């Protein structure tokens, strides 16, 4: 455990994502509440978090940076650069800063605050229940940073180190936006069952259990590939096979690829705007 002793962590911005991380850190006893600091644009959320968990409130972003060895930038991407620009003289060299923002590249972050040890991180929403994925990228060959990420963010789910920012973007599209894409498909499943007379809550439950069961079966099936698992459901000239053939004929894969590419392009557009 690298994060111990006198180390403390600060969250600049304490909205949904920061709150999910703080909850994971405290409930899993990764860091005691006294070692956690938060600052926020408006005062309501920090007070609520202090009352709930006993964490510390920093009265300004400047104070947060002075108190915390590791600083997590947890505001929306459009607020981030304006928030860090005045802090150049306050960060100490080699302080560790974790950006959760989509669309702000490491180069841009370093242009605004050089000399820091930067990590870009992308958690997905199932981190809210400890079942998430946390992808991260750093250009520093520093195993301390890997251990730090693993120690701090394991309670939220699995952590995955990404080899460059292209891979970071594809992780973001597939695993973070991807949660939204999976819900889109679940909605199609659910609506089809509603058309056949299922009540909405029953249709939703059956849809969730179908996706959950498929995932859990694959997880429990050792080294079987997804294709092998699919073959076990689909017998030659059977019902599943007929549906699968139709899916392939209507090129569902192509539609999904286009959706993934479009999401990636939007990220690149944001990166151009947020410099
Ligand atoms: N939520 C997700 O599922 C998710 C997933 C992956 C990544 N992320 C990333 O995580 C980051 C945070 O997202 P979120 O959903 O947690 O956003 P959020 O709920 O809107 O929280 C952002 C917080 O930042 C505060 N803030 C804004 N400007 C500030 C400043 N200059 N100084 C200090 N605090 C400031 C806001 O304060 P106010 O209370 O005044 O508004 C708000 O509480 C974003 O970069 C997002 O892309 C989120």
Which strand (E) or helix (H) includes residue 154? Answer: none
Q: Which of 19, 58, 74 to mutate to test the pocket of ligand 1 (most atoms within 8 A of CB)?
A: 74
In this structure, the answer to whether residues 79 and 201 fall within a common structural domain is no
Q: Last residue of some domain: 162, 185, 220?
A: 162
Taking CA atoms, 63 is separated from 17, 52, 69, 235, in Å, by 21, 22, 12, 64
In this structure, the answer to whether residues 158 and 75 fall within a common structural domain is yes
Q: Last residue of some domain: 162, 179, 197?
A: 162
Phi, psi angle pair for 72, to nearest 5°: -100, 120
Q: Is the residue at 4 inside a domain?
A: no
Q: Is the residue at 3 inside a domain?
A: no
10 contacts 34 by C-beta, under 8 angstroms: no
pLDDT for position 20: 87
CA gap 145, 118 in Å, rounded: 9
The single-letter DSSP state of residue 156 is G
Q: Last residue of some domain: 127, 162, 197?
A: 162
Position in ligand 1 atom list of the atom nearest CA 77: 45
Q: Is the residue at 50 inside a domain?
A: yes
In this structure, the answer to whether residues 208 and 116 fall within a common structural domain is no
In this structure, the answer to whether residues 143 and 219 fall within a common structural domain is no
Q: What is the pLDDT along the chain (275 residues), one digit of tens a residue?
A: 666 667 899 999 999 989 989 998 898 888 999 999 999 999 999 999 999 999 999 999 999 999 999 999 999 999 999 999 999 899 998 899 999 999 999 999 999 999 889 999 999 999 888 899 999 999 988 899 999 999 999 888 999 999 999 999 999 999 999 999 999 999 999 999 999 999 999 999 999 999 999 999 999 999 999 999 999 999 889 999 999 999 999 999 999 999 999 999 998 998 888 88
pLDDT for position 116: 85
Q: Is the residue at 2 inside a domain?
A: no
First to last CA, the chain: 35
Q: Is the residue at 19 inside a domain?
A: yes
Residues with CB under 6 A from ligand 1: 12-18, 39-42, 45, 61, 74-77, 79, 83, 100-102, 122-123, 125, 176
Q: What is the CATH number of the domain that holds 21?
A: 3.40.50.720
pLDDT for position 94: 81
pLDDT for position 5: 64
In this structure, the answer to whether residues 48 and 130 fall within a common structural domain is yes
In this structure, the answer to whether residues 177 and 157 fall within a common structural domain is no
Q: Is 54 left (phi over 0), alpha (psi -120 to 50) or beta?
A: left
CA gap 244, 251 in Å, rounded: 11
In this structure, the answer to whether residues 133 and 175 fall within a common structural domain is no
In this structure, the answer to whether residues 265 and 142 fall within a common structural domain is no
247 contacts 189 by C-beta, under 8 angstroms: no
Residue 112: domain span:
9-162
Report the number of distinct structural domains present in the chain.
2
Q: Alpha helix (H) ranges present in the chain?
A: 16-27, 44-53, 61-67, 77-84, 106-112, 143-153, 165-171, 178-195, 200-220, 226-233, 239-249, 252-273
CA gap 9, 64 in Å, rounded: 9
Position in ligand 1 atom list of the atom nearest CA 44: 39
In this structure, the answer to whether residues 178 and 124 fall within a common structural domain is no
């Amino acid at each position: 455990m690298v994060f111990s002793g006198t180390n403390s962590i600060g969250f600049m911005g304490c909205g949904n994502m920061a709150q999910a991380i703080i909850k994971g850190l405290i409930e899993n006893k990764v860091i005691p509440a006294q070692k956690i600091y938060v600052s926020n644009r408006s005062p309501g959320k920090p007070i609520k978090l202090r009352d709930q968990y006993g964490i510390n409130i920093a009265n300004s972003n400047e104070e947060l940076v002075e108190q915390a060895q590791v600083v997590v930038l947890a505001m929306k991407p459009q607020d981030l650069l304006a928030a860090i620009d005045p802090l150049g003289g306050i960060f100490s060299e080699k302080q560790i800063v974790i950006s959760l923002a989509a669309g702000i590249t490491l180069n841009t972050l370093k242009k605004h605050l050089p000399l820091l040890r930067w990590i870009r991180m992308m958690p997905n929403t199932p981190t809210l229940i400890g079942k998430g994925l946390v992808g991260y990228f750093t250009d520093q060959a520093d195993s301390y940073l890997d251990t730090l990420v693993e120690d701090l963010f394991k309670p939220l789910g699995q952590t995955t180190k990404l080899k460059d920012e292209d891979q970071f973007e594809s992780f973001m599209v597939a695993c973070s936006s991807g949660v939204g894409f999976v819900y889109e498909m679940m909605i199609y499943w659910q609506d089809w069952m509603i058309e056949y007379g299922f009540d909405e809550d029953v249709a939703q439950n059956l849809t969730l259990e179908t996706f959950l069961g498929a995932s859990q079966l694959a997880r429990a099936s050792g080294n079987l590939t997804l294709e092998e698992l699919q073959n076990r459901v689909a017998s030659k000239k059977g019902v599943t096979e007929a549906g699968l053939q139709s899916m392939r004929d209507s090129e569902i894969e192509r539609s999904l690829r286009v959706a993934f590419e479009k999401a990636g392009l939007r990220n690149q557009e944001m990166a151009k705007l947020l410099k």
